[in-house]
Structure 1
């Protein structure tokens, strides 16, 4: 099954959704980053993030949200906060026994959005 997409190897939408749920449970328990979600409808956010990660992983879902820079503009996200959130994603992927190569592929894809998410005035 060498032609399977990362999305397929992760287990499709149900598995990506489970990872996203675990991810946000970890994020919301982290006082350093949880404040970014104070006024967010988390049910909608989880659905939105599931679609985003599915699309990034080569799945059939279409991401229809704002581009990353627009979506995160004004949130004053720092490099340290980005790193903390990426670590929570890594932890969630590990929780579901995603193999190292696939876990690294997801984290690499997310890392590709750092410049759009971290605001230069607040980054390191």
Structure 2
């Protein structure tokens, strides 16, 4: 069984991404990174990304994340503090949705593994 199936498939991913962005967009530390971003499109991209990662299809994830965030690092100073805030909102989202602890651990581990790619290191 994939992580995608274990968390509940498409409906669970959709609920998680929606709640996640509610939390992110309420965080004054993170809001500046989304100025001018069409959030409907961002939501769809994030749902597709989570679906891919949760299905275990990680080939190219580092390169994708590096490219997607390069401008934010260079132009807006995206840093470890921002990454940690986003990770905290992801963890809180999963707890709010009552995802089992072992699955939260897997998801947060996968997210942590993308830190250097997101921060272009």
TM-score, normalising length: structure 1: 0.85
Q: Which residue pairs with 2:89 in the alignment?
A: 88
Inter-partner Cα distance in structure 2 for 1:14 and 1:40 = 24
Q: Check conservation: 1:68, 1:116, Cα contact below 8 A.
A: yes
The answer to whether the aligner puts 1:42 opposite 2:39 as a matched pair is yes
Note the residue ranges of structure 2 that are not aligned, 5 or more in a row.
Answer: none
CA distance in structure 2 between the partners assigned to 1:119 and 1:31 by the alignment: 23
C-alpha distance in 2, partners of 1:72/1:14? Answer: 27
CA RMSD of aligned residues (A): 1.9
Cα distance between partner residues in 1 of 2:64 and 2:120: 14
Q: Say if 2:99 is the partner of 1:98.
A: yes
Cα distance in 2 between the residues matched to 1:102 and 1:15: 13
**In 2, Cα distance between the equivalents of 1:119 and 1:81?**
13
| Structure 1 counterpart of 2:11, from 6, 11, 14 | 14
TM-score, with structure 2 as normaliser: 0.87
Dislocated runs of 4+, deviation >2 Å? none
Structure with bigger helix share is 2
Q: Is the 8 A contact 1:27 1:88 kept in 2?
A: yes
How many residues are matched?
A: 114
**CA offsets per residue over residues 92-115 of structure 1, 9 Å max, x none?**
111110011101111111111110
